[in-house]
Each structure stands twice: as structure tokens, then as C-alpha cells.
Amino acid sequence: MNSISRASLPSTFLSKASALEIIFVTWALICLPALSTPGLLDDADSIHAEAAREMLLNHNWVTLYVNGIRYLEKSPLMYWCVAVGYKLFGVGEWQTRLPLALSVLGLGLSAWIFGRRFLSAEAGFYAAVILITAPGIFVYTRFLIPDAIVAMWLTLSLYFFLVAYDQEKPERWACWGFAVMVALNVLTKSLIGLAFPGMIVFVFLLLVGNFKKLLAMRPLSSTLVFLIVAAPWHILAAIRSPAQPSGPEKGFLWFYFVNEQVLRYLNKRIPRDYDKVPLLLFWALVLAWLIPWFVFLSPSFEEIPRKVRRWRDGLSARAEANLFFGVWAGVIMLFFSFSTRQEYYSLPALPALALLLGGWMQRERESEMGSRERRAGKTASLVLLTIGLLGFAAAMSVLAMTHPFPPGTDIGSVLAPHPGQYALSLGHMEDLTIEAFGLFRTPLRLVGFALLIGTGLNWIFRRRGAPFKGNLALTGMMIVVLFCVHQGFVIFSPEVTSKNIALKIQKEYKPGDTIVINGKYEFGSTLNYYTGIELHVLNGRDGNLWYGSFFPGAPDIFEDNQSFTRLWQGQGRVFLFTEDYLKDQALQAVEPKTVYVFARQGGKVVLTNHPV
């Protein structure tokens, strides 16, 4: 690949300023309205936010703490970003979500830069818009997990690699840029940040038969740059959390690298408090994460050169880039096909697919009427129109089968709990019933009409030979759809957040009172975040706080049935937070006449030992 061959690729379909304006406006319309609502969720969302809050509270930027206990399983970079936001703007929901919102913009711009250099300006523009409007990216930035940030660092690291690979004598800035991006990804999600670019680069070089190129990429100085960025935190964290003779037999390094990385991959992590998505569903969800753009994947895959002889004999600039994107997506999907996996583990593959899609969309627009690309675009748009019509019909059917609920209806009263699915990130979605959709009538109606109009306009524009306008119609459709997804999320939130309950407890709490969660801490972690009060845990030591609870100085917060009964019978007020269907299990040794309902919402109830 060379700069001369690439000079003929850029398209003048939009000016650089206009492309950036559309990218920024699309991002702002999707991400900014979703910053402040709903309240933070129980489990990962508020646990990770609490870790950032306690980072500031403890003035400790090395060892993470949650509820006063060491939280040693996560890399620190995301928490640093949130804590900085708290320091600058105060503690709150939008401050918590701001780093993820910015990472979505960063991911889009990274794909735009990648596409401009290795495909065309138009391809980069499409890739950015696809990622910003992708449901998978939007859904998994609704709570505080680092996977969108991981995708951004991975995109940038692979960009620097391909730049260096393209240069006859790789320049220092490209090689070191690759090293820095990989290091930042390691600080974001540990070994994944190193494994993904390492495997992708290895497979790509294997296919093109050019391992010698690695020797020219300044391996010694690049390794040193990587270590300068990535190593200091790991060294300090290991020093501050060593193995304990009377506690954990192995220290931070074993727990963080072996237990949380290797054993998790092999499905042998301790404690085993997670589940995995079935393999076929994991692959199918990639299509869902790229709605509506997935209909163009089939012709996009044809952009990847398939003849092995061509890989070794030399490829054009564009073909080599497309081969690289195919390797990128394939390596990530295959990697997780043999491991434990959640629904969102495929997100780092989306930038590669978006770049393939963007490149094909550019070729479609530049091709002549009646060409193979134009015919493929029309066929895909017809498929999408069919999906849009079915979506509209389904939305209208559900509206016909449901009725509006009075304002203030507790969503927990119309859901069907499936606790066996809650170890998956979207497990609570299985609680929805047809009746419950009566609470979602407005966003459901808007989604139905958006699908009908957006897919219809796309089909009309592509039939008239204007695929660019068709893509803009789909972009506008996704802005409306994702706005409705957010509104639906807000309506559903009482099932997955306990913010209102936490604020009610905070209002009544007095020194000497005790808040107890029935089960694992993560079931009610929002109480910790919103009250700022240390929580006790009943029969739930095997969750996120298990390992850190054995270190010296850990607070004595874990209760069994006997100690909880003594606490309940004491003089201080006890607030017991529990899933409604589990309350009898927690109160089996408690006199029923001493139990009073303090609050109830979203299938959760707070009981107290003093009259309300």
C-alpha cells in the first residue's frame, strides 16, 4: 500500500466540515439527551460509579474500593475518567455517563479517520455514522462498562499499526502510537487490550506472509513505551494488595490476571457469579447491534479478497485494508466463541464491520445505475423495507393488545420475574409481558412509524439512484428509534434501579441505623451510591466483594441468618432491602409482627423493624 494509490480514493460527496457536522449532530442528538436519566442501575452501573466515588473519597487512585472493600478485578482507566468528572462537575448521573458518551464520539471519529486514510472520505463518514447509530453501542453505554472505550482504543491502535505497516520504513510516531493505544486499552480492560491487537496483527501478517515487517516497527522502543504507560499502575496495585497469610493466599496479580482473565475465559473463575450467551445467539446479536445497517453486510463481505494467492502476491491498498477489517472482526468473534461471553463482548468487532460497510456504501454510490453494487443496494433496501413493515405491524399489534396504565403504575406489578436469567446483561428484559407493553405505548408507536418511514424512504431513494439520501434517511430513523429506546429504558428503570428507594431511605436514615441487602451486594448497589452509607450484606459474600473482603481493614458487613436476627431484634432501626419474592427467605427467623413495609418499587421491597 502506498500514499499514491490512496490519493485516488477520496470522494468529494461532502466537504470535510459538512461530514464532521453531520457526525457531531448525530452523536449529540443520540447521546446528550440520554445523559441524565434514568438513575444509575443496580449491579455493574452503580458498582463502578461507586468505585469512582470512593476513589475521590479515599484519595486513592491505585486501589479501587466499593462499599469500603477492595475491588480488585477491574482496570482503572474508566474509573479515573469518571472520578475526574466527579472532581470537576460533582457526583451525579450525567457526570457518570459523560466518559462513555465521549467515547462513542471518539469511536466514531476514530473510524472516520481510519476510513479516510485507508478507504475514502465517504467510507470513513459512513463508518462513523454507523457506529454512532448502532443499537449495540447505544445500549451498552447506558450503564458503566468499558467496552465502547475498548472498541475506541482498539480502533486507534490498529489504525497506527496499519499506518506503520504501510510505510516502507515505519516512522516512530506510528509505532509508538500503536504501543500507547494498546497500553491504554490494557488500562481499560486488562489483557483483552493486548490480546486483541496482538492476535489480529498476527493473523493478518500470517495471511499476507510478511512477519519481517514487525522487525522494522521499532519493537524494542515500542515495548518500552508500552511498559512506561501500562506498567506503573500494575506494579503499585500489586504492592498495595499482596498475598495475605490470614486472608487471600494469592495477591492482586493472581486475582487480576489469572482469576479474572484466564479462569474467566475458561469458565472457571471464582466465584462463578456469571452466565454466558449461547453461541448462535452471540453471533446473531452482531446483526442486532448493527440494525439497520446489517442488511448491507452481505455485499460488504465481498469487498474482502478471498484468493489466498492474492494475499501473498500483493494486494491493492483498498483490498489489503478490507482483508485487515475481515481479520479484525473474525478474530474477535472466534475468540469469544470458545469462552464465557456476554451479549456485548462482540462490540470491539463492530468498527471493523462498520468500515467494511462504509467502503461498500461508497462503492455503491459511485457505481453506475444497473451495476452489481446498485442492484445489491436495492435488494438490501427491499429486505429492510420488509423488516420495517413487519416492525410497524408488530408495534401496531402490540398497541392493539394493550391498554394504557394509570400514571404512577409500578412496572414491577406487571412483570414476570425470571431470576435465572439475571446473570446476563439483558436478563431482565425477559421479565416483560404483553401486558407490560401498555407502559411503553408512546415510544412503541414512535418506533413503529420511524421504521415504516425510514425504511420506506431508504427504499425509494435507492430505487431513484440516490443511496446517499437513503443512508441519511436511515440515520434519521435511528435517531428517533434510539430516542425511543432511551424512553423505554427510563420507563423500565424501576425494575433495574433502586434510586428512588435509596433516596427515601437516605431521608429517614439516622446514625445507628443499618441498611442490609438480602443476597449479593450488587443486587442493591444503588443504595450505596445514592446514600453514601456503608451497606451490610445478608448471605451474599460470594459476589463482587468476596475477594476483597479477606484483606486486612475490610469492614465487617457480612451477616448470616443468626447475626441478622440479632441485628433485627436490637435497638437500632434496620432497613432490609430485598427482592419481593425472596423476603420470606430473609425473615425466616424473624417474628412477623416486628416487620413493617417501608417502601416498595419495581419488584423490590424495603422492610424495617420499627413502625413507619
Say which residue, 73 or 106, is predicted with more confidence: 106
**What integer is the mean pLDDT of 170-191?**
97
**Who's near 258: CB < 8 A, 6+ residues apart?**
250
Beta bridge partners of 578: 605
Q: Between helices 147-166 and 350-366, what is the axis angle to 10°?
A: 60
Answer whether 477's CB lies under 8 Å from 135's CB.
Answer: no
pLDDT band at 515 (very low <50, low <70, confident <90, very high): very high
Each residue's pLDDT tens digit, 264-285:
888 888 877 667 889 999 999 9
In whole angstroms, what is the distance from residue 226 CA to residue 32 CA? 34
Each residue's pLDDT tens digit, 422-446:
555 666 677 778 888 899 999 999 9
Indicate whether 12 pLDDT > 90.
no
In whole angstroms, what is the distance from residue 210 CA to residue 165 CA? 10
Q: Which three cell numbers stand for residue 432?
A: 416483560
Q: What is the DSSP letter of 76?
A: S
Q: What is the DSSP letter of 39?
A: P
Answer whether 401's CB lies under 8 Å from 433's CB.
Answer: no
Indicate whether 4 pLDDT > 50.
no
Give backbone dihedrals phi and psi of 558, rounded to 5 degrees, phi first: -95, 125
Write down the residue that cell numbers 483483552 correspond to: 192
**Who's near 300: CB < 8 A, 6+ residues apart?**
353, 356, 357, 359, 360
What is the Rg, in whole angstroms, of the alpha carbon atoms belonging to the chain? 26
124-128, 248-252, 319-323: range with lowest mean pLDDT: 248-252
Terminal-to-terminal C-alpha distance of the chain? 74
Q: Which three cell numbers stand for residue 404?
A: 394504557
Answer whether 252's CB lies under 8 Å from 241's CB.
Answer: yes
Give the C-alpha distances (Å, rounded to integers) separating 552 from 70, 200, 242, 245: 10, 42, 11, 10
**Who's near 326: CB < 8 A, 6+ residues apart?**
301, 304, 352, 356
Indicate whether 6 pLDDT > 50.
no
Answer whether 470's CB lies under 8 Å from 461's CB.
Answer: yes
At residue 538, the 3 state secondary structure works out as strand
Q: Please count the other Cβ atoms lying within 10 Å of the Cβ belonging to residue 169.
A: 7
**What integer is the mean pLDDT of 512-528?**
94
Per-residue confidence (pLDDT) for residue 2, from 0 to 100? 40
Residues 195, 201, 206: CA angle, nearest 5 degrees: 120
Q: Which amino acid is at 478?
A: M
Q: How distant is the alpha carbon of residue 580 from its chain centre?
A: 29
In whole angstroms, what is the distance from residue 209 CA to residue 344 CA? 33
121-130, 172-181, 184-193, 340-349: range with lowest mean pLDDT: 340-349
Each residue's pLDDT tens digit, 280-317:
999 999 999 999 999 999 999 999 988 777 777 778 88
Each residue's pLDDT tens digit, 34-57:
999 999 999 999 999 999 999 999
> How crowded is the C-beta side of 322, counted as CA atoms within 13 Å?
24
* Burial of residue 609, with CB atoms counted within 10 A of its CB: 0-12 exposed, 13-18 middle, 19 or more buried: buried
Domain boundaries, the chain: 3-34+72-366, 372-495, 499-608
102-106, 349-353, 539-543: range with lowest mean pLDDT: 539-543
**Cis status, amide bond into 38, omega within 30 of 0:** yes
Per-residue confidence (pLDDT) for residue 246, from 0 to 100? 59
Indicate whether 180 pLDDT > 90.
yes
Indicate whether 600 pLDDT > 50.
yes
Which sign does the torsion angle of CA 524, 528, 531, 534 carry?
A: positive
Strand order in the sheet with 558-559: 558-559, 536-538, 514-518, 574-579, 604-608, 596-601
Indicate whether 323 pLDDT > 70.
yes
Indicate whether 390 pLDDT > 90.
yes
Q: Which three cell numbers stand for residue 479?
A: 435517531
In whole angstroms, what is the distance from residue 458 CA to residue 80 CA? 42
pLDDT band at 482 (very low <50, low <70, confident <90, very high): very high
Answer whether 26's CB lies under 8 Å from 133's CB.
Answer: yes
Per-residue confidence (pLDDT) for residue 247, from 0 to 100? 60
Write down the residue that cell numbers 512477519 correspond to: 211
In whole angstroms, what is the distance from residue 549 CA to residue 544 CA? 10
Indicate whether 169 pLDDT > 50.
yes
Each residue's pLDDT tens digit, 552-565:
889 999 999 999 99
**What integer is the mean pLDDT of 447-467?**
97
If phi > 0 it is left, if psi is from -120 to 50 it is alpha, else beta; for residue 453 that is alpha
Q: Which three cell numbers stand for residue 6?
A: 490512496
Give the C-alpha distances (Å, rounded to integers) separating 490 from 33, 396, 502, 504: 12, 21, 17, 19
